[in-house]
Structure 1
């Protein structure tokens, strides 16, 4: 394979990018760079797979599914709590809820003690939609996980949880 950018696939591009970056910025940590690029690529591939094979065919976006998933398992909740649990901004949840409510999947009611706050709840139609979607979603999760042994899955989960709870993640959480 050529080392010209147009001839590279994603994984060979990672090697190429690391080499080019280190040539210009020698203090670059190639292992951290590879980790970041690989996690980003994997996340993008997972979300694309789930959204294109499971959620879009059911009329849901990835973000819409995440809100329904939170409400299915933890709701009803104030929208700010839904945003936190779904890993979204409050503004994104607010905009999304208009569509979900219009489709009869969620309801929103004003919180009596705070006129600015809104409580969200899943409707029976939303419950049916999210449980149907999640069954197919979990089949895709199983397909992805099948590349690893049970022991490898346990180790990877532990490592990802360690990254998720580390100092950089805590600092990023303070920004949201």
Structure 2
């Protein structure tokens, strides 16, 4: 449980609050439970296997991206990890100070930075990931292997929709109601 209330209590409270509002309730429940499940899983993994390695979720994801894909430009690491380049800068500095990642200049563009796992980072991931996977098995233990595959497939379809159509949808929504200026008066860049 990620909050004071169970999923069932939350769904009943939402129904009581919004019962008369015409909503797509099944879709609302699906997205709310994706969020709640993701937060609960993240919290469990941070407070179990990642705590022992002194890693935040974001640090682990950055290490995972580098472990799987190898050396990459920072902009692509941030994209793969689902974080901003600014967040990656802080995470990379921390991981570098711990000797888990190494940075180098891009061979053809001095403005770009490459990151890779250090030998210590490779060793950590090889030792850590089997324990991480055991916790993945724990959190999905109420599901059969077939149900896990079905769930993974459904979630892939949701992600695929956003990857394929999300940018156009956001542009459509912004055109209908442009977003307000950012705090501090900065405006979003066009295009």
TM range (shorter): 0.7 to 0.9
Q: 1:12 aligns with which of 9, 13, 16?
A: 9
Hey, what does 1:154 align to over in structure 2?
Answer: 149
SS in 1 for 2:115: strand
Aligned to 2:76: 81
Is 1:104 the counterpart of 2:89? The answer is no
Structure 1 pair 50/8, CA: closer, same or farther in 2 (3 Å)? closer
**Equivalent runs, 1:51-130 vs 2, <5 Å:** 51-130=46-125
User: Is the 8 Å Cα contact of residues 79 and 117 (structure 1) preserved in structure 2?
Assistant: yes
TM-score using structure 1 length: 0.86
Deviation at 1:36, TM superposition (A): 1.5
Question: Which runs of no fewer than 5 residues in structure 2 stay unpaired?
Answer: 171-191
Which structure has more helix as a fraction of its residues? 1
Matched position secondary structure for 1:51: helix
User: For 1:173 and 1:127, how far apart are their aligned partners in 2?
Assistant: 38
Is 1:163–1:169's contact at 8 Å kept on the other side of the alignment?
A: no
Contact kept in structure 2, 1:108 and 1:120, CA below 8 Å = yes
Which runs of 5 or more structure 1 residues have no equivalent in the other structure? 1-6
